[in-house]
Amino acid sequence: MAVKVSLINMKGGVGKSTLTINLAWHFAAYGNWDKKVLVVDLDPQFNSSQYLLGVKDYEAILKANKPTVWDIFEQGTRTPSGKATIADPRSAIHKYQNFSDGSCIHLIPSRLELALSLKSPRQNQERHLSRLIKQVEGDYDLILIDCAPTESMLTTAAYLSSDWLLVPVKPEYLSTIGLPLLVNSMQDFEDDYGTSNLRLAGVVFNAASEYLPEEALAKNTVRKIAKQNKWHVFENEVEYSRSYPKGAREGQPIFRTTYSRWNKVANFERFANDFAGRVGL
């Protein structure tokens, strides 16, 4: 059974998609991990889909009317021609890369129209994703869900589909404010759905540079909130590197770029291994 992890923070721009894709690549293709990884892009801004696919492949999926995460949530919607359904839930999974050793990176892409599903959510719509994941989780070792940075039906869908939450935090003032919002969101979920198996893998400082006083202040605030809520904070931080945005533009993880410094790659590796230990991968 797959380990299911949602990358979530109520603040945008903290590096959720970059972290998601780099983790996916790391566990599928770096060292001897050789894991089967499914990425679920649960953000209408579809950054994870952009990172992996590029314009041509993404357009090809839309032009061929292949199902996306939008279709998963819109199942059961009544239309003039009947109820919308996906004949085979697996058809929403795009096989981005299969490696010869059996490991893979697959993707359920997102699309802009997912935002429309949020305008008038229907009853039980939030359960559609977890139903699909239950059907396919035996095919994977790790399922990474890249969440949208707002509280909505999609957040609940992510909670229902996950075993763990990973919270990337950029150590700066505005980014830290996303954390109490997340505390609220998780408490609301527990109130509405009772106890669940959802656990917090931890908070990871993303794009950290260590030296700035402003950053140190933000980190202390986050550590304080984490302590109050008994949250784990990863000791290994993901340091800032220009290779991350550049790699995203080229569709490459940091360890496959030709320009990244080895110490930045090693830094990411340390965090990824720490994360793997935490979630039992």
Partner 1 sequence: MSKSRYMDLFVDIARLLKKYGPEPFEELAGQIRDGRFLNDLLILVETSAIAGRRRTRPVGGKQKDQRESKGLGKLLKQCEDQDPDKARALQKVYESLLSKRLLPTLRQIRDFAKDNGLPPIKATSRDKAIVPLVRGMISMPFEQIVSVLERDSHFEEKGDRTLEGWTNVILSRRGRGPREEK
Q: What sign for the dihedral angle of Cα 280, 275, 150, 41?
A: negative
Q: How far is the CB of 255 from partner 1 (least distance, A)?
A: 9
For residues 134 and 1, the answer to whether their CB atoms sit within 8 Å is: no
- Stretch touching partner 1 by CB under 8 A, among 1-9, 86-94, 192-200, 251-259: 251-259
User: Of the candidates 139, 151, 251, 273, which one interacts with partner 1 according to CB under 8 A?
Assistant: 251
Should residue 101 be labelled a site residue for partner 1 when binding is judged by CB under 8 A? yes
Q: How far is the CB of 148 from partner 1 (least distance, A)?
A: 16
Should residue 69 be labelled a site residue for partner 1 when binding is judged by CB under 8 A? no
Binding mask 110-139 for partner 1 (x = CB under 8 A): -xxx--x-----------------------
For residues 253 and 138, the answer to whether their CB atoms sit within 8 Å is: no
Q: How far is the CB of 156 from partner 1 (least distance, A)?
A: 22
**DSSP β-bridge partners for residue 97:** 105
Residue 258 token pair: 């030709």
Q: Which uninterrupted H or E stretch holds 96?
A: strand 94-98
For residues 10 and 181, the answer to whether their CB atoms sit within 8 Å is: yes
User: Of the candidates 13, 85, 99, 216, which one interacts with partner 1 according to CB under 8 A?
Assistant: 99
**DSSP β-bridge partners for residue 93:** none
Residue 87 and residue 98: Cα distance in Å, rounded? 24
For residues 37 and 78, the answer to whether their CB atoms sit within 8 Å is: no
- Stretch touching partner 1 by CB under 8 A, among 2-10, 95-103, 134-142, 204-212: 95-103
* Residues of the shown chain interacting with partner 1 in the complex, contacts defined by CB under 8 A: 29, 50, 54-59, 62, 65, 70-71, 79, 84, 97, 99-101, 111-113, 116, 249-251, 256, 258, 262, 265-266
